[in-house]
Structure formats: C-alpha cells, structure tokens
A and B are shown apart, each in its own frame.
Chain A
Amino acid sequence: MQPSLNEDQIQILEFLDSLSKPYATAPLHDTSFALHSDELDRELAEGGFLDVMAMPELGAATAALVAERLARLPFAVEAAVSALVRPLINPELPRPICLVEEGQLRKPVRFLKPGATVVVIGAETVRTFIASADLVRSAGDEVLFAYPMAYLQGVPADARHHDVSADEVRRAWRVALAAETAGLLAAALQNVSTYVSERKQFGRALATFQAVRHRLAEAQVATNGVYWLAIRAAATADAGDAALAALHAQETAQKVCYDYHQFLGAMGMTLEHPLHLWTYRLKALTADLGGRGEQALAAAEAIWG
C-alpha cells in the first residue's frame, strides 16, 4: 500500500502543468459555450501525455492523474478516454475517441466530429469505426453541455470488431469518467472558493458565512473522495472499484453543481464567469453509462454478486 505520487508522477504532472499553462485561464467574451483548443489537443498528443498508461513504470494510475489534471482546465480536452480506454482497444486509434453504448444513439456524443473514432460498446462486443461526415449531425447551438457534441446518425455494418472484453472497456470507461469528473470538481470548487472569498455582502466576504463554508467544505470532502476512488480504480483495474468511483463521481457532480451556481448569485447565471465550463461538463458526465443508478447496480453486482 502506497497511495502517494511517485517521483515519475510528480514530474509528469509538472510537465503537464507547464504545457497547459497558456490554457489555464479562459478567454471570455469571445468563446462559445464549449471552450475547446485544437492546439492544446495537438500538444498533449505530441507530448505523449495520453500514452502514459502503456509505460510500465507509469501505468493506468498515472493516466488517471493526467486525465484529472487536464479536466481542471477551462478548455475541454478529449484526454480521459484516450488515456484510459483507448490502450485497451488499440493504442493507435485516431483521436478523438468517442464512446457510445449500443442502442443509445439518441444521446449526444462528446467530441464527435468527422474523422473521430467511434467505439460502440455492446453487451458482449466492442466495435470501432471512423466517423464519416454523413454519420455526424451537428447539435448546433442548442447543446447545454460545455463540450463539443454531436449526434451519431448510425453505425456502419462494417464497423471493426475488437477482441477485447466489453466489460473491460466499460470498466475503463468508468475509470475515465471518474478521473475526469474529479478534475472538473476540483476546478469548479477552486473557482467558487475564490469568488466567495472576494465577493462581499453585508460588509463581509460571502465565504465568512457558515452556510456557505460548510457546504463548500462538504463538497471538498466529496471531491477528495472522487479523486482517490478514481486513482485507486485505475491502479487496481477492479470492476467494483471502477463502478464505485464512477458512482461517487456522478453522485457528487449532481450534488454540487446547483450549489456552486447558487453561491455565485447572479454572477452564477452569466457566461462572464467561467464556472459553467466545469459544471456544464459535470452535468454531461452524469449521463454517461446510464447514470448513477446503473453505476450503483454495476458496483453491487461486482461486489456482492
């Protein structure tokens, strides 16, 4: 048992922070609801940050740490799935990687665009294909989630089957979901904490009111739990650990999002504060893999049979 960062992991995260520094603040007023940077995406891929899982001295826990750290940025990056799920299927799959549950085409898909790799996960099968333009329908400006999203119009009959367990891919998806959620939760909490520390009403900072302090402290406890469960699930590769991590992630996301906007008051209704970039991503992730109830059932099955 040694739940602490090793030297390699500390160094990787330092490199990552250095690379992503230009993207650490949101350029407001001239961006869309979903902030995205192809340049950041390219730099991450070229730097090998999304390939750390395959390196024996780094492994899945490091991949989860990378995913968590990147999710804190105001820019949405398709990192968690590439870092934690793609290596199980084929590490050479072209990015972005879009995960879709078989029979769930009604749902919008994160990062879907022509040229993306779509992974269709069925009860027993895992298939992939490259999304062609005719299979991608833009969701336009109506998307209320802060990711680039589109609808998948169908699955080609010649989608390639992979010799990998669908349950394993679902397990890795849960880890990726938990790691990304942990980063989003951390960034949202940090932003709200800063705001309530600066904003004064009744002559004092909002953060000095216990009603605010205690709810934020409870959010910190939950966020910390999501972080550790995600990293543990990545490290152990255990189906029960993954389901518990995803469950706690989705539970926590649902619990904190409204509180966070509430604490910002009217500012929480605007696009002038970047909070929505994290909370409206958190909301999107709560729908992954059927939501909390499904993660809970998967956890119960894995733990108690």
Chain B
Amino acid sequence: MNFEWTDDQRAFRRKIEQFLEQSLPADWEEFSRHGPASPELTEFARTFCRQLADNGMLFPHWPKDAGGEGLGPWEQQILAEVMWEWGEPRGGQYMNVNWIGPTLMKYGSPGQKDKYLPQIASGEMLWCQGFSEPNSGSDLASLRTRAVLDGDVYRVNGQKIWTSYAGLADTCFLLTRTSDDKKRGITILLVPMDTPGITVRQIPSLIGEGDIHEVFFDDVEVPVSQRLGEEGQAWEIIGYSLTNERLGIPRYHLARAALDRGVAMLKQAGDFDRAPVRIEAARCAALCEAARTAIYAIVQKRADGQAIGAESSSARFATVMAERAVCAFIVECLPEALAGGSAYLQMHHQRGIVAGIAAGAAEIQLNIIATDVLQLPREPR
C-alpha cells in the first residue's frame, strides 16, 4: 500500500505541465472559458493536439505498435488530471484518444483502422457519440434510431439528442437499431457528419458554448463498410469502450483545483479567516480526496490487469458529491467568481452540473452500487 508518486510519475506530470506552460497562449485562461466544445477551442485544439502528438503526449497510453508510448493507466490518469486542471486544451480530443481509438483498435476492420487511427493519432479529427435519444437517456438500450440494410448501404432514420461536439465533429460513433432485440439489436455505424440527410441543431445550454446538440438523420446512407463490428454487437463493444473510459473525466482533481483556486481568492480578499468558511472548504477537500482515493484504487486495479466492476460507479458517485460541494462552496463564499471574477471558476461551475448527468446518470450509478456492490435484490421491473 503506497500513496506516493514514483519519481517517474512525478517527472511525467512535470513534463506535461512544462509543455503546457510553454505552449499555451498568455491569455489561455480567459480563452478556455469558451469550453472544450466551443468553435474557438475546437479550432485551437486541432493545432494544439498535433503539437501534443508530436511530443508523445496525446496518446501515451496507446500501445507502441499503434504509435503510442505504451505507458500504463497511471500515466493516462496523470495526463487527464493535468489537462482538465488546465482547462482541457485538447477540446473534444480526450474522448477520441481515450476510448474511440482503443475501441477501433480492437473491433475495427483493417480499412477502418487504416482510415481512422492515423487521423485520431494526429489530433486533427473530432468525433461525437450518437447515443442518447429523446426517449432513450438512462435507458439507452431502448433507442429507436433505425438502420435498415438496403444493398450495400444502411439507411438511417431517427434522432439523437444531447450530443456533445456534434456541431463540429467530423464523424459520429452512432448507435442504431437493426433489429427489435433490445440489446442485441443495436449496431454501431461510423458516420461522416457531412453525409447528406444529417441535420445538427445546437441546444442552448447552461454548461458552455456549443456543447450539446440535436442530430437528425433523414434517410442517411451509410456504407456497410462503415459498420463497426457485426450487426447487433454494439452492446458488447460499448462495454469494452467503457472499460477504457469508465473512470471518466477526473472531476475530483478539477474540483480540488477549483477549490484551491477559490481559497486563494478568499485569502487574497482577507476572507479566509472565518471559521465557517474554513470548515466548508475542508468539507469540500475531504469529498474531493475521498473521490480521488476511490478512483486511484480503481486505476491500480487497471494497472494490475484486474477487471473493473461496480466500484467504478461508487467512485464516480463520489466525484459527483465532490463537484457539487465545491460548486456550492464557491456560490456561497465567492459569488463574484461566477459573475466575471474568475474565468476558471466560472468554467468549472458551468461544467459541475454535468457531473451527475453525463455518461450515466448518478441515480443509475446508485442502482448499480445497490445491486452489484451491496448485493441487494433488484427492483421489480
């Protein structure tokens, strides 16, 4: 049992930080207020991710034969922590390198690998994931966007919603229904977003510019060669993808960074001497660190090659608690930060609300914990 970073891990973190210090523009903090999905940051990320790739920092956890550095889960976690702490200058690219790339490596056809992996590796390509639908959010397997085989193409009709990055993405990792079997009737298509029949509409949101969209598919033709895996294999493939992205964004680290930033501002204002403020700040730190240790225990399991189970739901819920607490602390003790006083805290607050909603609602995580960790009998359905 050891909770200290090794010298190599410290050096890796420092290397990334130094790269960011040298590479990001002087007005980065103000600029990053736009958020990872904004047109400005997406455009910036196309150039920046190429630089990252050239310096071995875009996908160091990829295997060497796929162009990566072959580094382990700890380095992947450190990279994620630093990037999110710095306002995620990779934009939407983090999703590509963390799970779309590895999923294509395992399930992609030779043609798909040749086509997409170099583009992901160069940091120039942006994906969106067409998962949720108006009537299929937490109950994802009930999705209805239909893909019907017609010769050597699928004809896709339906609607996706709350799709991140859709407005600027090059390709959609799209879940479609090809038969009525609830889970085994879902098929993945890799769909160029400029295909005729696709309409994207941005949804005004609380969480930042250009972040969520509706995507309409009106008789969209997708060549069979763009199918990932077999028909009906989507649920298995998504399950694999999640093992690469089960821990999600390192929100515990982001929340802790925001908390430290908030405390620094309070100290500067001479308002960090009051006991109630200090107590609340400490409560937030405890929640951030509780989430961090829960996540780290899982990273260690990954490093040891063990399967990750429902403990990831527990750790993710812990991050939700940490995010909410820090957001509430800033609102209560530092309201000016959310009214022009701090671009960093404003961005954190906007995204904090996402923690319990995106990538599996918090209540779904609680259901999983109840059934798989506590071994409680299931609810009747």
Contact = CB atoms under 8 A, between A and B. Distances in A.
B377 A6 contact: no
A299 to B, nearest CB: 4
Given A1-B9, A225-B318, A220 B379 contact: no
Interface residues of B, number: 53
B342 to A, nearest CB: 17
Interface string A210-235: 10011011101110111011011001
A196 B285 contact: no
A175 interface: no
Nearest to A9: B1
A229 B367 contact: no
A6 to B, nearest CB: 6
B285 A208 contact: no
A86 interface: no
A213 to B, nearest CB: 4
B293 A228 contact: yes
B290 interface: yes
Interface stretch (A34-42, A118-126, A242-250): A242-250
A297 B275 contact: yes
B268 interface: no
Interface string B361-381: 001011101100111111110
A224 B319 CA distance: 13
B282 A300 contact: yes
Interface in B79-113: none
Interface centre among A61, A217, A292 (most CB of B within 10 A): A217
B6 A1 contact: yes
A213 B297 contact: no
Interface in A186-205: 189, 193, 196-197, 204-205
A260 B83 CA distance: 41
Contact of A296 (B74, B283, B369, B380): B283
B285 A221 contact: no
Contacts of B318: 221, 224-225
Nearest to B317: A221
A236 B292 CA distance: 15
Contacts of B289: 229, 232, 241, 244, 248
B300 A2 contact: yes
Nearest to B291: A225
**Do most interface residues of chain A lie in helix, strand or loop, or is the interface mixed?**
helix
A3 B278 contact: no
Given A4-B297, A251-B283, A207 B376 contact: yes
B116 interface: no
Given A1-B9, A243-B282, A236 B376 contact: no
A133 interface: no
A24 to B, nearest CB: 18
Contacts of A154: none
Contacts of B6: 1
A232 B293 CA distance: 8
Given A224-B318, A225-B293, A296 B279 contact: yes
A296 B315 CA distance: 22
A286 interface: no
B377 A205 contact: yes
Given A193-B376, A208-B377, A293-B279, A247 B286 contact: yes
A220 B369 CA distance: 8
Contact of B282 (A189, A214, A241, A299): A299
Interface string A1-26: 11111100100000000000000000
Contacts of B3: 1, 3, 232, 235-236
A62 interface: yes
A304 B280 CA distance: 13
A193 B317 contact: no
A214 B304 CA distance: 31
A268 B315 CA distance: 29
Interface string B1-33: 111111001000000000000000000000000
Contact of B2 (A3, A204, A218, A241): A3
A218 B380 CA distance: 21
Interface string B263-281: 1000100001001001111
Given A214-B366, A218-B317, A4 B1 contact: yes
Given A208-B379, A247-B283, A214 B1 contact: no
Nearest to A190: B374
B296 A1 contact: yes
A3 B300 contact: yes
Interface centre among B263, B272, B282 (most CB of A within 10 A): B282
B132 interface: no
Interface centre among A235, A244, A301 (most CB of B within 10 A): A244
Contacts of B370: 207, 213-214, 216-217
Q: Which A-B residue pairs are the 3 nearest by beta carbons?
A: A225-B290, A228-B293, A296-B282
27 contacts: A1-B2, A1-B5, A3-B1, A3-B296, A193-B376, A196-B376, A205-B376, A205-B377, A207-B377, A217-B365, A218-B366, A220-B369, A220-B374, A221-B314, A221-B318, A222-B290, A228-B296, A231-B1, A247-B283, A248-B289, A251-B286, A295-B282, A296-B286, A299-B285, A300-B282, A303-B285, A304-B281
Interface of A: 1-6, 9, 61-62, 65, 189, 193, 196-197, 204-205, 207-210, 213-214, 216-218, 220-222, 224-226, 228-229, 231-232, 235-236, 241, 243-245, 247-248, 251, 292-293, 295-297, 299-301, 303-304
Given A220-B314, A224-B290, A296-B279, 4 more contacts: A220-B374, A225-B290, A228-B290, A303-B285
Interface of B: 1-6, 9, 74, 260, 263, 267, 272, 275, 278-283, 285-287, 289-291, 293-294, 296-297, 299-301, 304, 311, 314-315, 317-318, 321, 363, 365-367, 369-370, 373-380
